[in-house]
Structure 1
């Protein structure tokens, strides 16, 4: 597992890339080993991930006041949706990249966005705190979630664009794949698990 100092080093590189300095990519471990190590980012975002599950629980209980509707399996299903969609998205992206002629950039894109997710998920935890502690905040929550989504897409596009050397078509294709596939896969997995059938 990468030490916190290493993660901070990676994030410093991403910050340089976002500032328009491609040399920031040199801070990342873009080797095959670095690809697999980048998945440790899921451990670093575990606290905000668990907080998001509590936010979903709050939403469910606002519709079904009976706590009995939520059991231990509820959290396992949420995890299955999260991590299942992550695996599916990554596999599909790698396939799209290979057949789209930019397979050489795909591992670096995955590595960079995996580490980018660490500060973003921690920063966006306030959305879940609003949902948990501010009753009737649906409009505020949806607004902040939309703003967060736009910011994430913008930052992701800038990083992808630097990695692929400024090819707008490749950057747009990558971003579209990485944002549309998770939405569809999460919906399908949730549907298959009969998660939140009445919402």
Structure 2
């Protein structure tokens, strides 16, 4: 289990990073236990992810089968990218920083879903080009946020951080596309 105080500290650290403050890293527990507990970040955002998937039409068929597929895809998505990045970090010489990156990456999901859900709900309720543009702006800002986390936590170049974000997008797209095909 995780203490509420650790959740608050970790979300605050994620918020500081979102504000461009590298000092946000000091709020994370990068110990082996802290790394494991950081997966509470993605777990806490699961309801928001399911809301986004519902708005995207993921549950139009057999809801129980689609839900099972989406939950499996969510777990794969939460683990495939970190496994790939762990290996990459070892290869490029920043493997020692991987735990702190993974903790920041996992907790950043709370900030990201907090930005995406309201904008997506607004765009769904009031469709139009203005809100579509807002959605695009938020998405691009979140991609820069992810790159900033990689740069600060891993100590890599902007290019390397950007490539890690692209890898995350690629893996996420592959997993979600497979889930959509399986769920029908």
Same fold (TM over 0.5): yes
Could you tell me how far 1:38 is from its partner in structure 2?
0.3
1:177 maps to 2:167: yes
When normalised by structure 1's length, the TM-score is: 0.76
> Aligned pair in 2 of structure 1 residues 51, 18: CA closer, same or farther (>3 Å)?
closer
Aligned length: 184
User: What pairs up with 1:13-32 in 2 under 5 angstroms?
Assistant: 13-32=13-32
Gaps of at least 5 residues in structure 1 are: 62-68
Does the 8 Å contact 1:16/1:24 carry over to 2? yes
C-alpha distance in 2 between matches for 1:139 and 1:80? 33
Which residue does the alignment assign to 1:154? 144
Does the 8 Å contact 2:59/2:67 carry over to 1? no
Could you tell me how far 1:12 is from its partner in structure 2?
2.4
Gaps of at least 5 residues in structure 2 are: none
When normalised by structure 2's length, the TM-score is: 0.81
1:91 maps to 2:70: no
C-alpha distance in 2 between matches for 1:132 and 1:21? 32
Greater C-alpha radius of gyration:
1
Aligned Cα root-mean-square deviation (Å): 2.7
Could you tell me how far 1:142 is from its partner in structure 2?
5.0
Could you tell me how far 1:154 is from its partner in structure 2?
1.0
C-alpha distance in 1 between matches for 2:55 and 2:123? 6
C-alpha distance in 2 between matches for 1:108 and 1:190? 32
**1:120 aligns with one of 105, 112, 128:** 112
